[in-house]
Structure 1
Amino acid sequence: MTRYFRPLPRSGLARPKDALPLAGGPLRFTEAVALGRGRKPEVIPAKAVPEAVLERLTGARAPIAGMAMDRVTLMGILNVTPDSFSDGGRFLDPEAAVAQARHMAAEGAGLIDVGGESTRPGAETVPVDDEIARVAGPIAAMARDLDVPISIDTRKAPVAQAALDAGAALVNDVAGFTFDPDLAPLCAARQVPVCVMHAQGDPQTMQTAPRYGDVLLDVYDFLSDRVEALVGTGIARDQILVDPGIGFGKTLEHNLTLLRGISLFHGLGCPILLGASRKRFIGTISGAGTADTRMAGSVSVALHGAAQGVQVLRVHDVTETRQALALWGAIEWGFGDGS
């Protein structure tokens, strides 16, 4: 029976002598939770974790697209679409998109994630040519004007190729590189880092009664398999981000279970990306009905992710999240960015 090991991160200046570094960052852990299908969770000493797993849990993460992975990086969300769930239509105009990217970079985003196809629940697939027309021009302008890398949020190889040609530095696929078989080989050939996300079903159907045997372990196994497949195409493991896909084919309880257990994914040996900003479960819990009123709840989830060692936070509200991280870092370690 497969066993899984979720480290229990600790922050702060007071560190036990036997504490181990979590993913080479500032967090430490002295204990882990041993998990298994049909088994009761068991808290064990960190040094009882198998050596091969411990190496992945503790090892420093390599920089990705020039970004250090030993601190929290904010990925600013920029949807150049008419129908995204939170900001659809606001940045469809290329000048508005570039201005928003410039604003987010100035406010502390270390990466701008540009998407030309909405993947909200129920969204229709966008034709390739339309998606390219939406993203290529703004990405080219951002690559010229900004000092931060640009990622392309797409499931399609032709769109990724156009975006990379325009200056994008990372490919972020919400379909986990299962939608277009040409996408992973393209990324390998271009030697660009990638983010692989879990989703159950496609945007049109994913919220229709999603089911799992054990959502935390099922998502972990999916991401583990996809990482190995990507490595097999020639993409280096240390250039792969993993994203558990909050809200993509998950119920409220599925989302909460993944957030509670998100430190498990450090065992994949890859940096973790968390994208929960303004999503529906935040409104369900908080009573904030519309996406643009969910900033406070989004910041709360982002801080939880940072406290679990998540390296990249995908957010709409860059200014507010950066401010919260600065206060958290000052309180916990005496410096202002949570790194």
Structure 2
Amino acid sequence: MLRLGTREFGDDEPVIMAIVNRTPDSFYDQGATFTDEPALERVAQAVSEGAAIIDIGGVKAGPGEEVSAEEEIRRTVAFVASVRRRHPDVVISVDTWRHEVGEAVCEAGADLLNDAWGGVDPELAEVAARHGAGLVCTHTGGARPRTRPHRVGYPDLMADILRVTVGLAERAVALGVRREAVLIDPGHDFGKNTRHSLEATRRLPEMAATGWPVLVSLSNKDFVGETLDRPVKERLIGTLATTAVSAWLGARVYRVHEVAETRQVLDMVASIAGHRPPAVARRGLA
């Protein structure tokens, strides 16, 4: 069972995490939700389309202008509070690697800390434990925040992913984070080239076998673009194909830009797997 905020999710229930970037320079939306009203509209739309988690980020993942902890707090904390007031039942996640930011957003109502940089600040897990928040434990191959991979290699990629993510998850629980609120993430594109991200995807059953719920952040990423030779705005089909495969192989939570399309893919996979009945079943019955 996965329990985040006030929500409980069954073992066969796929969960959508919608991305809301509070940045002027995000790679995909180019600052479309940097100001409050478009961001709040984005949250409302995502919730209406089936997102159970809203993931709020105040710093773009890639290289760019330096963003201090104070500026990251300014971009996220008041917005977290606004989302909490407007959507009391939604799970609020904040994508940050800094414990100072984690402290501030948890006080404002965040339920989950999405540590996309793999425990580079070990105090972040302590913040999650102190506030009763959940934690995403990500594999980055030791990459520093906001850096791109360069000639990375692994003797056994999945062995390294499991060693890091399971280790971070067990440490979090030892610190007091609730076991049912901890997720592991293979970290597509983070500290990995395209072949690594493809391998991590096809080996997802090994992550699922650990018993920790697996989160995948696939949406419009570079490994999709390189695999199909498509620019950022033309990666939806590749993203949805990867989502379907990931769902079949045992992923539980999907961090996405396009919620409605992802919902249909996940519902279809769940129905094929026998976990969800068809919405309508009239054909051949009359």
**1:75–1:270: structure 2 CA closer, same or farther, 3 Å change rule?**
same
**1:315–1:62: structure 2 CA closer, same or farther, 3 Å change rule?**
closer
Contact 1:325 1:336 (C-alpha < 8 Å) held by counterparts: no
Quick one: which of 140, 145, 160 aligns to 2:86?
A: 145
What pairs with 1:270-285 in structure 2 (closer than 5 Å)?
270-285=212-227
Quick one: which of 21, 32, 48 aligns to 1:90?
A: 32
Moved more, 309-318 or 324-333: 324-333
Any gaps of 5 or more consecutive residues in structure 1? 1-60
State the distance in 2 between where 1:327 and 1:181 align.
Answer: 39
What pairs with 1:66-215 in structure 2 (closer than 5 Å)?
66-70=7-11, 71-120=13-62, 122-123=63-64, 125-146=66-87, 147-178=89-120, 180-200=121-141, 201-215=143-157
Residues matched between the structures, number: 274
**1:124–1:234: structure 2 CA closer, same or farther, 3 Å change rule?**
farther
Give me the TM-score of the superposition, normalised by structure 1: 0.77
Contact 1:124 1:204 (C-alpha < 8 Å) held by counterparts: no
SS in 1 for 2:209: helix
**1:149 shift after superposition:** 1.2
**1:100–1:82: structure 2 CA closer, same or farther, 3 Å change rule?**
same
* Residue of structure 2 in register with 1:14 after alignment: none
**1:84 shift after superposition:** 1.6
Contact 1:154 1:160 (C-alpha < 8 Å) held by counterparts: yes
After superposition, the CA RMSD in angstroms is: 1.7
Quick one: which of 231, 236, 247 aligns to 2:189?
A: 247
State the distance in 2 between where 1:302 and 1:271 align.
Answer: 15
**1:327–1:296: structure 2 CA closer, same or farther, 3 Å change rule?**
same
* Residue of structure 2 in register with 1:231 after alignment: 173
State the distance in 2 between where 1:112 and 1:315 align.
Answer: 10
Q: Taking every aligned residue pair, what percent have the same amino acid on both sides?
A: 32
**1:245 shift after superposition:** 0.2
Give me the TM-score of the superposition, normalised by structure 2: 0.90
Q: Which entry has the higher C-alpha Rg, 1 or 2?
A: 1
Contact 1:136 1:162 (C-alpha < 8 Å) held by counterparts: yes
* Residue of structure 1 in register with 2:3 after alignment: 63
